[in-house]
């Protein structure tokens, strides 16, 4: 393993002072904890005749450091123009640009990492209108970092009333109608959302719009959707988003109490699982919004 470290500006000032006082190269090397050959090479490379200046030596070092390594492919006008056209005009992602050039065996070949590095360095910022976000914000993920497998969600989660493996076997194996899965779909503005309920067996779909992605608005929409279902309802499995925090209160307001396991608080080492809420067959008759069936699905039951 190479433990070599470059000389810093402070060490160059020490070399200048000790050299001015007539100290030997070995004494200087011992003081800055470098080898004698390193000090000798520093004086030979960065001295202007017999004069040695720490600031000029540092400037020469930085200039040589900038010339190290292979120059970026984006520094070539032909490569930059191809990437600029696809990224700024066609709105392609770096992955699409690199893979398409490789598939077409284009004269210009560039890796995804090189394109990302150029974007984060700001090489394409001047190509967008003044006042608009930088080129990083024009990426598919708006420049947000992706999470690896070790990432732990820090946003709020609702307590787990029932673990998903406690769900009835009929729900897991899709053996009977009445076991629902709930979720939300965000709109472009991030305010209003669509609440969905899908029956696991029949793929029967109920859709309703919530004015906001809040627990109150989502619960009201969920209550309205359940009133539209004419059949029996046994379980509902929402995700763990905070918008479903009031689902328990909604189910308690039904005519019969729902069956619930002992709640599992957050932060006790138990894996975060999708909750399953159980409730009684109390939904009144009403119209049906949307019905999606597979070829093997059976007709909906009527009470």
pLDDT tens profile 181-202: 888 888 766 678 899 999 988 8
pLDDT band of 132, cuts 50, 70, 90:
low
* Nearest to 15, CA basis, from 49, 58, 63: 58
Q: Of the spans 35-49, 58-72, 177-191, which averages the highest pLDDT? A: 35-49
| SS3 state of residue 208 | strand
pLDDT at 291: 34
Compute CA distances 148 → 151, 153, 155, 258, whole Å. Answer: 6, 11, 16, 38
CA distances from 86 to 92, 98, 198, 289 (A): 6, 10, 40, 43
pTM: 0.40
Alpha-carbon gap, residue 123 to 243, rounded angstroms: 41
Tell me which of 156 and 175 has the higher pLDDT.
175
Beta-carbon contacts of 250 under 8 Å, excluding residues fewer than 6 positions away, are 219, 222, 223
* Residue 156 pLDDT class (50, 70, 90 cuts): low
Q: Quick one: average pLDDT of 230-253?
A: 77
**pLDDT, mean of residues 210-219:** 88
- Above 70 in pLDDT, residue 118? yes
Helix (H), strand (E) counts: the chain: 10, 7
Tokens of 165: 């493996």
Cβ 97 vs Cβ 87: under 8 Å: yes
pLDDT at 122 over 70: yes
Averaged pLDDT for residues 269-283:
39
Residues 222 and 183: their CA atoms lie apart, in Å, by: 10
Taking the C-alpha atoms of residue 127 and residue 84, their distance in angstroms, rounded to an integer, is 9
pLDDT band at 37 (very low <50, low <70, confident <90, very high): very high
Q: Which pLDDT does position 292 carry in this prediction?
A: 34
Instruction: Report the percentage of the chain scoring pLDDT > 70.
Output: 73
Q: Taking each helix axis as running N to C, give the angle between helix 36-46 and helix 25-32, from 0 to 180 degrees, rounded to the nearest 10.
A: 110
What is the phi/psi pair of residue 223, to 5°? -65, -40
Q: Which of 90-94, 214-218, 266-270 has the lowest mean pLDDT?
A: 266-270
How many beta carbons lie within 10 A of that of residue 38, not counting itself? Answer: 18
The residue among 170 and 158 whose pLDDT is bigger is 170
Q: Which of 240, 216, 101, 83 is nearest to 157 (CA)?
A: 240
Q: Which three-class secondary structure state does DSSP give residue 61?
A: helix
Kindly state the average pLDDT of the residues 229-233.
78
Mean pLDDT, all residues of the chain: 77
Tell me which of 46-55, 123-132, 226-235, 279-288 is least confident: 279-288
Angle at CA of residue 134, ends 132 and 135, nearest 5°: 120
Measured in Å, how far apart are the chain's first and last C-alpha atoms? 76
Crossing angle of helices 54-66 and 9-20, rounded to 10°: 140
Segment of 115-119, 249-253, 286-290 carrying the highest mean pLDDT: 115-119
What pLDDT is recorded for position 161? 64
Assign domain 164-255 to a CATH class: alpha beta
Instruction: Tell me how far CA of residue 66 lies from CA of 60, 121, 219, in angstroms.
Output: 10, 15, 59
Q: What pLDDT band is residue 16 in, cutting at 50, 70 and 90?
A: very high
Residue 94 has pLDDT above 50, yes or no: yes
DSSP-assigned beta bridge partners for residue 184 = 195
Q: Can you give the pLDDT at residue 146?
A: 64
Token pair for residue 70?
A: 């292979």
Q: Identify the residue with better confidence: 205 or 131.
A: 205
Tell me what the mean pLDDT of segment 172-188 comes to. Answer: 85
């Amino acid at each position: 393993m190479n433990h070599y470290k470059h000389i810093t500006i402070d060490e160059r000032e020490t070399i200048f002072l000790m050299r001015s006082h007539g100290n030997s190269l070995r004494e200087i090397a011992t003081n800055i904890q470098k080898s004698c050959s390193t000090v000798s090479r520093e004086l030979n490379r960065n001295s202007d005749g017999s004069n040695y200046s720490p600031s000029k030596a540092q400037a020469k070092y930085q200039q040589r450091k900038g010339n190290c390594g292979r120059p970026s492919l984006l520094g070539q006008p032909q490569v930059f123009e191809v990437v600029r056209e696809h990224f700024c005009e066609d709105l392609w992602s770096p992955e699409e640009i690199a893979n398409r050039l490789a598939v077409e065996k284009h004269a210009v070949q560039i890796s995804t990492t090189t394109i990302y590095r150029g974007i984060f360095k700001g090489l394409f910022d001047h190509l967008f209108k003044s006042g608009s976000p930088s080129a990083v914000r024009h990426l598919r993920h708006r420049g947000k970092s992706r999470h690896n497998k070790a990432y732990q969600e820090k946003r709020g989660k609702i307590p787990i009333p029932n673990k998903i493996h406690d769900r009835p076997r009929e729900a897991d194996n899709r053996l009977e109608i009445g076991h629902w899965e709930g979720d939300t779909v965000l709109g472009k503005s991030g305010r209003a959302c669509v609440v969905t309920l899908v029956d696991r067996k029949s793929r029967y779909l109920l859709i309703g719009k919530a004015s906001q992605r809040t627990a109150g608005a989502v619960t009201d929409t969920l209550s309205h959707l359940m009133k539209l279902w004419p059949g029996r309802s046994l379980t509902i499995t929402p995700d763990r988003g905070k918008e479903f925090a009031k689902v328990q209160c909604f189910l308690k307001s039904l005519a019969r109490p729902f069956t619930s396991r002992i709640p599992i608080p957050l932060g006790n080492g138990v894996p975060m699982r999708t909750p399953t809420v159980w409730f009684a067959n109390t939904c009144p008759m009403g119209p049906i919004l949307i019905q999606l069936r597979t070829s093997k699905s059976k007709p909906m039951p009527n009470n």
